[in-house]
A = this chain, B = another copy of it.
Amino acid sequence: MYQENKYSSKLLNNAVEEFSKLPGIGGKTALRLVLHLLKKSEEEVNLFGETIIELKKNIKKCKICKNVSDDEICEICSDSERDRKTICLVENINDVIAIEKTGQYKGLYHVLGGLISPMEGTGPDNLEINSLIERIKSSDIQEIIFALNSTPEGETTNYYTYKKVSGFGVRVTTLAKGVSVGSELQYVDELTLGRSIIDRISFF
């Protein structure tokens, strides 16, 4: 009797179902979150729901770098203190966040929005590669740092994009591969350790 209508309240069921759709949130966690919200004031719950709706409704893609943005041009692209001659090429917004967190990068970004993946049906035209070329043509870009994942899809996209951007006289670099800071050598995988020897740098 309580299978379809698991919690004897449709409202409760619907809310639990919505939370369960989120990645990594199972039925039990969803119920816990919903019961937590039930204890909150109507204002707090409205704020929760409306903030999510507003996000999706109002968020834009930056016209320049294709990162998510509140305005036509994102905060990073409109920041006059950043180095406008360097572009870091990343797959998605998570990568922008990860690199921003390091505090080591002061240039701009270009967010591809994915990687070339025939398996998933993602071709070059589904990605922001043409807009990257346009950017290189229309502004004074001197370096592009390729910062895509070291996966087959990443390598394919690297290769394809490299072919496209070479010929514009832009310096193309990529992230250094090597042992992690603080890592113990015995636990570093062979490929990485091998690369770190080949790409060794001067000590001082």
Interface residues of A (CB under 8 A from B): 2, 5, 7-12, 14-15, 17-18, 21-25, 29, 31-38, 40, 42, 45-59, 67-70, 74-76, 93-94, 96-97, 100-101
Contact = CB atoms under 8 A, between A and B. Distances in A.
Q: Is the interface of A mostly helix, strand, loop or mixed?
A: helix
A38 B70 CA distance: 13
Contact of A57 (B36, B42, B100): B42
A56 B14 CA distance: 12
Identical copies in the complex: 2
A59 B11 contact: yes
A63 to B, nearest CB: 14
Contacts of A24: 29, 32
Contact of A15 (B12, B23, B51, B74): B51
B76 A18 contact: no
Nearest to A17: B51
Contacts of A22: 33, 36-37
Most chain-B CB neighbours within 10 Å: which of A5, A55, A68, A69? A55
Contacts of A59: 9, 11-12, 38
A96 to B, nearest CB: 8
A97 B56 contact: no
Most chain-B CB neighbours within 10 Å: which of A42, A46, A53? A53
A52 B35 CA distance: 11
